[in-house]
């Protein structure tokens, strides 16, 4: 992801979420050098992912596929790619938050081995107030380059 991608990334964010990140958050993610990727089919951007890897941990901040392209396996492919990058950067554990109401995302993360480790009360905004976040974690096995 580059600054040139931000208008498209922001449009995907707005299409996917009722309470999207603002554009400045994406700018900050690039500024602090988080791993920011854009998913493309041909020349069409259909999603993005943002992670931070530090002190042996990965935090998945945002994994988003445009609603038109969801339920086709692209989120799973992106998640696996982000986790591979985390392993390459020596992360031992990956963490993320997911809306308590987002059953499809929770099913994806569960199928990929994530386990619930906690709840952040009133973490996400909603139309009528706030919603809890489920905190998930995955122990990452190191990549064995000798296989």
Domains (ranges, CATH) in the chain? 3-139 (3.40.630.30)
CA atoms of 138 and 35, how far apart (whole Å): 18
Q: Is 71 annotated as a binding residue?
A: yes
Active site residues: 97, 109
Of the chain, the end-to-end C-alpha distance in Å amounts to 31
pLDDT category, 17, cuts 50, 70, 90? Answer: very high
Rounded to two decimals, the pTM is 0.92
Q: 144 in the Ramachandran plot: left (φ > 0), alpha (ψ -120 to 50) or beta?
A: beta
Q: 72 a known binding residue? A: yes
102 annotated binding-site participant: yes
Residues 6+ apart with CB under 8 A from 5: 38, 45, 48
Q: What tens digit of pLDDT does each residue of 82-116 get?
A: 999 999 999 999 999 999 999 999 999 999 999 99
């Amino acid at each position: 992801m580059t600054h040139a991608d931000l208008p498209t990334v922001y449009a995907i964010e707005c299409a996917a979420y009722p309470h999207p990140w603002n554009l400045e958050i994406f700018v900050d993610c690039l500024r602090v050098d988080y791993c920011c990727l854009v998913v493309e089919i041909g020349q069409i951007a259909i999603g993005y992912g943002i992670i931070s890897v530090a002190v042996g941990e990965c935090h998945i901040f945002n994994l988003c596929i445009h609603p038109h392209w969801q339920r086709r396996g692209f989120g799973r492919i992106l998640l696996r790619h982000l986790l591979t990058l985390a392993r390459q950067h020596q992360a031992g554990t990956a963490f993320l938050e997911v809306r308590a109401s987002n059953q499809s995302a929770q099913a994806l993360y569960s199928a990929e081995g994530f386990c619930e480790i906690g709840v952040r009360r009133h973490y996400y905004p909603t139309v009528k107030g706030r919603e809890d976040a489920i905190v998930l974690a995955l122990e990452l096995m190191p990549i064995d380059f000798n296989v």
